[in-house]
Amino acid sequence: MIRRTLLSVLLGLAVLFGTLLSAPSPARAAPYAAMVIDARTGEVLHSRNADTRLHPASLTKMMTLYIAFEAVRLGEITLDTPVRISQNAAAEPPSRLGLQAGSTIRLRYLIRAAAVRSANDAATAIGEAISGSEAAFARRMNRTAEALGMTRTTFRNANGLTEEGHLSTARDMTTMGRRLFYDYPQYYNIFSRRTADAGIATVRNTNRRFLDAYRGADGIKTGYTRAAGYNLVASAERGNVRIIATVFGGRSSASRNERIMELLDMGFARAPAQAQVRRPELPVYGNDGRAGRTTRTTGLVTSSLRPLPRPLPPAGPEDIPEASPELLAAVADAVEDALAEPEAPEETADATETPIPEPVPEEAAPQEVLLAEAEPEADPTDAPATPSVIPVPRPEIVAYDSTEIELAVINPDPEPPAQEIVTRASSSGERLYGVSLGRYPSRFDAEQLLLRTALAELGTFDEALRNVVNRSGGFEAQFAGMSEDQAARACARLMSRNITCTTYGP
């Protein structure tokens, strides 16, 4: 009996030992790497295993988005281009937007889904829309990486799913984050959104916990696969200092976030309070025979010159009419009157004429700004109002700059003419209301604020006129020519973005 019991115990121990031997070993933690830089100068403040080639996971989508922004800038595609979803894109594993094969969706929504939701199907669809296939897009990604100085990075797909040879480094991904900020600042705000309208769904940011937890944080991108661990490229700004930090191989999203905040704190402690910003140049691609479009960038236009008037054909003697005695007498009287009065100065400090603001044509607005609109697009069937102009005396242009044209009206009458007003016709109620953004020390500051706000809120102020009023406390920046309801909704939208404003009316 005792022998049988002993044999049973030994047999049980043998089975247990065999089970332990055959059980799979726990997964090893992904290799750790980190990098911290001063974004203003690119100076390295901390690095560890920064040049080790590791799996980037969804940090890959930073390059996918960079090329999408580049393609829009180069005119290869627009934000409103309808993209047909392939079976390949629709079949990508999670994280996904839920795109269906054969459906179409505008590029802007794919960008939002890839940046905010980290949607794999959206990233693949972006690559196929720009280059025709994911393989061709991967070749363009590698060409762009080389042009940006990402020397130890090779891409195989647009979304970052684990694939042989799809590798990068903490140093290269930190470079990628800096280039997104400086090369395409008009898009950068998308990385700090907690939610975004992706057309078929509202998506939530995979990085929202870090964005909410760290003061000054405004991006950039998370990444996770079993092979990569928990990755993050993060950026934060405090005062005049911006720090970018990268972590590869985190053990969990919580520990990764804790580590990235420690690295950012280290960066802010080590970075100087003042530093000269060294902006990188846009990449230049050489014609080396590799696949992909060869593009040579020449930079932005530094000035906008006024075109010269078209010369008139010379008039022959027979084309000049003979002046009548009445006309000659009137001219002589006008000359005598002008000589009898003191000459008026060309400009006065207390001029009462309000410069006529130049309306911004809708087609002149950069397409990049349209991405920032989370609101539905304006109904294209709603035709823009036709401007009506009250005739004014023939002007002579005496001064010109990029924001306004001052007019000097030639009029022999001693009484100055009544101020002429150029306005926009209204087809939907009285447009006697507006939004004031406050008063500023100079006209230039007020005009710049109006321009930035109009570009960021194109759908809100597309029918409003920008106006700067010189008041005793400074120059007041106003959006005028709105209905009461439009002004109220516009101000509410601005206040939701922490922009101070007030409405005014008749």
DSSP state of 59: G
Cβ–Cβ < 8 Å for 64, 88: no
* pLDDT of amino acid 309: 55
**In whole numbers, what is the pLDDT of the chain averaged over residues?**
77
The rounded distance, in Å, linking the Cα atoms of 189 and 391 is 44
* Tokens representing residue 177 in the block: 């984050």
Of 34-48, 74-88, 427-441, 444-458, the range with the lowest mean pLDDT is 427-441
Q: Minimal CA–CA distance to 375: which of 500, 461, 451?
A: 461
With 50 as the cut, is the pLDDT of residue 398 above it?
Answer: no
Mean pLDDT on 273-294 = 74
Of 97-106, 200-209, 461-470, the range with the lowest mean pLDDT is 461-470
- What whole-number percentage of the chain has pLDDT above 70? 66
Cβ–Cβ < 8 Å for 131, 142: no
Q: Minimal CA–CA distance to 234: which of 35, 32, 65, 49?
A: 35
Of 86, 118, 131, 436, catalytic: 118
Of 58, 235, 436, 483, catalytic: 58
Helix (H) or strand (E) holding 407: strand 405-409
Mean pLDDT on 152-171 = 97
With 70 as the cut, is the pLDDT of residue 140 above it?
Answer: yes
- 3-class SS at 321? coil
With 90 as the cut, is the pLDDT of residue 221 above it?
Answer: yes
Q: Which pLDDT tens digit goes with each residue over 312-347?
A: 555 444 444 455 565 556 555 655 555 444 433 333
With 50 as the cut, is the pLDDT of residue 153 above it?
Answer: yes
Q: Which pLDDT tens digit goes with each residue over 291-309?
A: 344 444 444 445 545 555 5
How many CA atoms, within 13 angstroms, populate the side-chain half-sphere of residue 47? 15
φ, ψ dihedrals at 81, nearest 5°:
-65, 125
Of 61, 86, 221, 483, catalytic: 61
What sign results for the dihedral spanned by CA atoms 461, 463, 464, 465?
positive
Which runs of E-coded beta strand occur in 5-117? 33-38, 43-48, 82-84, 104-106
With 70 as the cut, is the pLDDT of residue 223 above it?
Answer: yes
pLDDT class of 54 with cuts at 50, 70, 90: very high
Torsion of CA 284, 290, 293, 296, to 10 degrees: 20
**What value, to the nearest 5°, has the Cα angle with vertex 162 and ends 156 and 165?**
45
The rounded distance, in Å, linking the Cα atoms of 45 and 275 is 14
Cβ–Cβ < 8 Å for 199, 82: no
DSSP state of 302: -
Of 98-112, 129-143, 472-486, the range with the lowest mean pLDDT is 472-486
Residue 58 designated active-site: yes
pLDDT class of 411 with cuts at 50, 70, 90: very low
- What whole-number percentage of the chain has pLDDT above 90? 51
pLDDT class of 225 with cuts at 50, 70, 90: very high
Alpha helices in 347-396 (DSSP H): 367-370
The rounded distance, in Å, linking the Cα atoms of 255 and 257 is 5
Residue 427 designated active-site: no
Mean pLDDT on 363-383 = 38
